[in-house]
Structure 1
Amino acid sequence: MTDPTTFDPAQVFRVFAMRPVATTDFDQVVVNAPGDDLRCVFLWGQDCYNCNLFKQAALLHQQALRDLGLTWFQADVYADEPLGRRFGLHGVPTFVLYRGGKRLGRITGWPGLPQFVAAIRRQQGP
């Protein structure tokens, strides 16, 4: 459990082993990589208030997110604007889901833990 008085937004990357991706390697690392795991790409921005809300919630509810069995990736689209344009982003955070080379959908904004979990469960199927 994370102590909210010592919140460090960057912790989320380490805690969930979020692999950094960029425009230059996105297809190779996320889309075309072998495997049938459900991949979640967390697109965020430096000093983004709503991104930090997700990061804090993720750190406070680590087990609930781990139980989803996602393979996590992350990219700061403020620093990598072409990646943000690729997805036509109008805001962050945005979570883009892939499996087996196919884009399954996306979650725009941080809807809160229950809604996020429900959306992921729908992609996982029965």
Structure 2
Amino acid sequence: MNGPRFDPAQVFQVFGMRHVDTAGFDAAVAEAPGADLRCVFLWGQDCYNCNLFKQAALLHRETLLGLGLTWFEADVYADEPLGRRFSLHGVPTFVLYRAGKRLGRITGWPGLPQFTAAIRRLQDAASENSSQAS
């Protein structure tokens, strides 16, 4: 019996990932207004480790969607200048922004527990900062 075939491209639709490239990156991600936590998934076509993330993301979609991230994606094999901008040495890489500030990056797919813990730390830091400002 064969189950449904894994289609890594489904991850873009499931997570509502908006495509970004070198030309529009700053306007869409870095300079866009808002306090949402933006996660840019930098990946490459036929990248084994990128497909591992895509498969894990689809298997654990509820958990990842529950993080409330605004997702973007870019194939840095096709857009090499964007990869150079972030001095990438491997993909997948996840770059995180909020309100025009780059908060950090996760290189490689560390697995669901480590990824969600890193995102939660950023969210907790943001809520602490907003409560101190009021």
TM range (shorter): over 0.9
In the alignment, does 2:81 pair up with 1:82? Answer: yes
In 1, Cα distance between the equivalents of 2:26 and 2:118? 23
Matched AA of 1:10: A
The total of aligned residue pairs comes to 124
Per-residue CA distance 1:18-67 (angstroms, 9 max, x = gap): 00000000000001111100000000000000000000000000000011
In 2, Cα distance between the equivalents of 1:101 and 1:65? 23
1:100/1:49 Cα in 2 relative to 1: closer, same or farther (>3 Å)? same
Name the % identity.
Answer: 78
Matched AA of 1:70: L
TM-score with structure 2 setting the length: 0.90
TM-score with structure 1 setting the length: 0.96
In 1, Cα distance between the equivalents of 2:79 and 2:118? 26
Pairing 1:11-26 to 2, within 5 Å after superposition: 11-26=10-25
Structure-2 residue corresponding to 1:122: 121
1:51/1:21 Cα in 2 relative to 1: closer, same or farther (>3 Å)? same
Unaligned runs of 5+ in 2: 128-134
Pairing 1:1-126 to 2, within 5 Å after superposition: 5-125=4-124
Alpha-carbon deviation of 1:4? 6.6
In 1, Cα distance between the equivalents of 2:62 and 2:100? 27
Unaligned runs of 5+ in 1: none
- Aligned-residue CA RMSD (Å): 1.2
Please identify runs of 4+ aligned residues in structure 1 that moved more than 3 A.
none
1:58/1:30 Cα in 2 relative to 1: closer, same or farther (>3 Å)? same
Alpha-carbon deviation of 1:6? 1.0
